[in-house]
C-alpha cells in the first residue's frame, strides 16, 4: 500500500539540508519511495500535510530504557556514587518484567518527543526487544556485558553475559524489521582490556556492532588503569563497528582514531551536564568527519528521554565551551538528531527522508506559537532546534506504521504503563533495601 503525505514542508535532513516546501512524500511498506515536489504517481491513501512539517524521526543514539525505574533516585551525585550506591544494588535485583515495564515507559517518552529509533544497552535484552516491538519503535539492542564480582551470583561471569548476548543477537536480529542487535560491553573500567578484546573478537566473528561507554568522566581520564582510546586502538579494539557513547574526554589523537576507524559517537549533553562530566568536543569530532549522534542516556541521569532537549542543548553547550556562537550550527545539530545519529549507530538507512530509506517519519505541527514567524522555509531548521518542542509532535511513523497520532501514543495503554513502572520501581527498591 502506498501512502502519500501531500503538501507539507519537508526537511529531508540530507547532507545538503534539502527542503521541499509544499512537498510530497510517499511510503510503501517500510520504505520511502518518493520525496520531492508534487507527486504524479499512484497511491492508495492521501494524508493532507499542509501546515505540517515532515522530517525524519529522531535517533536516540544512547539510552538505557529500563532506567526509567530509577528516575529521580540519583540526583546531585557523581557517576561513581550514582553507579555503585544507587543503581547497581537495584539492578542486580531487577526482574525481567521490571525491565520490560521500564522500557515500555521509556518508549512512550521517546515516541512523544519524535524519536523513532533508539540504541539501548541493558540487561534482559529479550524484554528490551519485546518492549520496543510492543511500543512500535525501532531499536538497536546491545545486551550489557559487565565484569563485577557482585553480579556473578545473579548473572554469571562476563563470559556468560557474552554467550547469552550472542544467543540473543542470533535469535532477534531483524525481528519485524525493527530490531537490530549488537554487543554492549559496558566500559573499559568494568571490563579488562583482555575481556574487551575477546568480546571484540566475538563481534567480528558474527558481524555485530559494539556499543560501549568511553571516557565519560574526568575520573576515567585521570585513572591510569582505564585504557584510553590509543591503548584500545593499539590492541585493535576499534576493528569493526563501534558506538562510543559520551567520549567527553577524547583527545585529538583519539578523535583521529575515531575518524580513521569509523567509530560513531553518541553525545549525551544533558547526562554529561547533570553528572558534571564536562562538554564533549563535538565541534572537533564533526570537523574530523566523525559521525556524532545525540543520546539522552538513561532516565536516572537526565531525567527524561526527550531528545528534543538534547537537540537544543548540544549547540548551546558547544557555543558556551568555545565562546563562539558559530561553534555548532542548528543544521549540524539537527543532522546529529537524524542522519548522523543513524550513521553513528551504524544504521545508515535511517535519519534521512529520501527514496530507499526506512519510512521512519516525524510530522510536526506548525500552528504553534514557537513556529511563528517564518521568513523562509529554511527557518524551520532553527525553529525545530531552538524554539519548537515535543508539544509540536503530531504524528510519528515507524517502519511505515503510524504509532503516534495527534501527539498520542496509539500502541500501548499509557496510564497502565505508568502504573506498572510505579509498582515495579517501589518493589525493586524494597528488594534492594537501599
Ligand atoms: Zn550510558
At 406, list the grid cell: 495527534
Residue 353 · residue 56 · CB < 8 Å: yes
For 142, the grid coordinates are 546491545
Burial (CB count <10 Å: 0-12, 13-18, 19+), residue 373: exposed
Distance 245 CA to ligand 1 centre (A): 7
Confidence of residue 181 (pLDDT cuts 50, 70, 90): very high
Check: CB of residue 141 under 8 Å from CB of residue 179: yes
pLDDT category at 434 given cuts 50, 70, 90 is: low
Do the bridges between strand 19-28 and strand 2-11 make them parallel or antiparallel, or are there none, so unpaired? antiparallel
- Nearest CA to 87 among 16, 165, 151, 181? 151
* Least reliable range by pLDDT among 27-41, 72-86, 327-341: 72-86
For ligand 1, a single-atom ion, the residues with CB < 5 A are 297
Q: What is the pLDDT of residues 319-360, one digit of tens each?
A: 999 999 999 999 999 999 999 999 999 999 999 999 999 999
CA–centroid distance, 7 to ligand 1, in Å, is 40
Q: What is the mean pLDDT of residues 410-428?
A: 97
Other C-beta atoms closer than 10 Å to the C-beta of 3 total 20
Q: 253: CA distance to ligand 1 center in Å? A: 23
User: Distance, CA 104 to ligand 1 centroid (Å)?
Assistant: 18
Indicate whether 80 pLDDT > 90.
no
pLDDT digits (tens, 9 = 90+) for 88-113: 889 989 999 999 999 999 999 999 99
Separation of CA 36 and ligand 1 centre (Å): 38
Asked if pLDDT for residue 79 goes beyond 80, the answer is no
Q: How far is the CA of 243 from the centre of ligand 1 (A)?
A: 11
pLDDT digits (tens, 9 = 90+) for 237-248: 999 999 999 999
Ligand 1 center–CA 74 separation, angstroms: 14
3-state secondary structure 74-93: CCCCCHHHHHHHHHHHHHCC
Measured between alpha carbons, how far is 266 from 60 in angstroms, rounded to an integer?
Answer: 8
Between the CA of 408 and the centroid of ligand 1 the distance, in Å, is: 28
Report CA(295)–ligand 1 centroid distance (Å).
Answer: 9
Q: Give the other-Cβ count within 10 Å of 184's Cβ.
A: 30
Contact 138, 117 (CB under 8 A): yes
Residue 6 neighbours by CB under 8 Å, 6+ apart: 24, 39, 46, 47, 48, 49, 50
Q: How far is the CA of 242 from the centre of ligand 1 (A)?
A: 14
Model pLDDT for residues 4-18, shown as the tens digit of each residue: 999 999 999 999 999
What single string gives the DSSP state of each residue in 135-182?
HT-EEEEEEEE---GGGHHHH--HHHHHHHHHHHHHHHTTGGGTEEE-
Residue 355 near residue 34 (C-beta atoms within 8 A): yes
For residues 265 and 290, give the distance between their C-alpha atoms in angstroms, rounded to a whole number: 7
Amino acid at each position: 500500500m502506498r501512502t502519500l503525505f501531500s503538501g507539507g514542508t519537508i526537511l529531508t535532513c540530507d547532507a545538503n539540508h534539502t527542503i521541499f516546501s509544499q512537498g510530497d512524500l510517499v511510503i510503501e511498506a517500510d520504505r520511502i519511495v518518493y520525496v520531492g515536489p508534487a507527486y504524479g504517481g499512484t497511491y492508495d491513501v492521501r494524508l493532507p500535510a499542509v501546515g505540517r512539517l515532515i522530517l525524519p524521526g529522531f535517533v536516540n543514539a544512547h539510552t538505557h530504557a529500563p532506567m526509567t525505574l530509577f528516575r529521580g533516585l540519583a540526583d546531585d551525585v557523581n557517576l561513581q556514587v550514582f553507579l555503585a550506591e544507587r543503581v547497581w544494588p537495584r539492578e542486580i535485583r531487577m526482574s525481567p518484567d521490571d525491565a520490560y515495564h521500564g522500557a515500555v515507559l521509556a518508549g512512550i517518552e521517546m515516541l512523544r518527543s519524535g524519536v523513532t529509533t533508539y540504541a539501548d544497552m541493558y540487561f534482559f535484552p529479550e524484554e528490551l526487544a519485546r518492549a520496543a516491538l510492543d511500543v512500535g519503535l525501532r531499536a538497536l539492542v546491545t545486551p550489557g556485558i559487565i565484569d563485577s564480582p557482585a553480579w556473578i551470583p545473579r548473572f554469571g561471569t562476563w563470559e556468560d553475559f557474552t554467550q547469552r548476548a550472542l544467543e540473543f543477537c542470533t535469535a532477534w536480529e531483524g525481528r519485524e524489521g525493527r530490531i537490530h542487535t549488537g554487543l554492549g560491553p559496558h566500559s573499559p573500567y568494568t571490563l579488562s582490556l583482555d575481556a574487551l578484546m575477546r568480546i571484540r573478537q566475538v563481534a567480528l566473528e558474527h558481524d555485530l556492532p559494539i556499543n560501549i561507554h568511553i571516557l565519560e568522566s574526568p575520573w576515567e581520564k585521570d585513572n591510569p588503569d582505564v585504557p584510553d582510546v590509543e591503548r584500545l586502538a593499539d590492541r585493535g579494539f576499534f576493528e569493526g563497528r563501534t558506538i562510543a557513547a559520551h567520549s567527553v574526554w577524547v583527545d585529538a589523537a583519539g578523535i583521529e582514531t575515531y575518524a580513521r576507524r569509523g567509530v560513531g559517537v553518541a553525545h549525551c549533553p544533558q547526562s554529561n551536564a547533570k553528572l558534571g562530566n564536562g562538554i564533549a568536543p563535538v565541534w572537533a569530532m564533526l570537523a574530523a568527519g566523525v559521525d556524532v549522534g545525540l543520546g539522552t542516556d538513561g532516565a536516572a541521569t537526565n531525567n527524561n528521554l526527550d531528545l528534543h532537549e538534547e537537540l537544543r542543548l548540544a549547540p548551546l553547550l558547544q557555543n558556551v565551551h568555545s565562546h563562539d556562537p558559530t561553534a555548532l550550527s542548528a543544521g549540524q545539530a539537527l543532522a546529529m538528531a537524524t542522519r548522523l545519529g543513524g550513521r553513528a549507530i551504524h544504521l545508515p538507512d535511517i535519519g534521512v527522508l529520501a527514496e530507499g530509506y526506512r519510512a521512519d517519519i516525524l510530522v510536526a505541527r506548525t500552528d504553534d506559537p514557537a513556529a511563528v514567524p517564518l521568513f523562509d522555509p529554511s527557518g524551520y531548521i532553527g525553529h525545530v532546534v531552538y524554539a519548537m518542542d515535543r508539544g509540536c509532535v503530531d504524528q510519528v511513523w515507524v517502519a511505515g506504521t503510524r504509532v503516534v497520532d495527534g501527539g498520542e501514543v496509539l500502541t500501548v495503554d499509557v496510564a497502565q504503563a505508568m502504573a506498572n513502572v510505579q509498582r515495579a520501581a517501589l518493589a525493586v527498591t524494597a528488594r534492594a533495601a537501599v
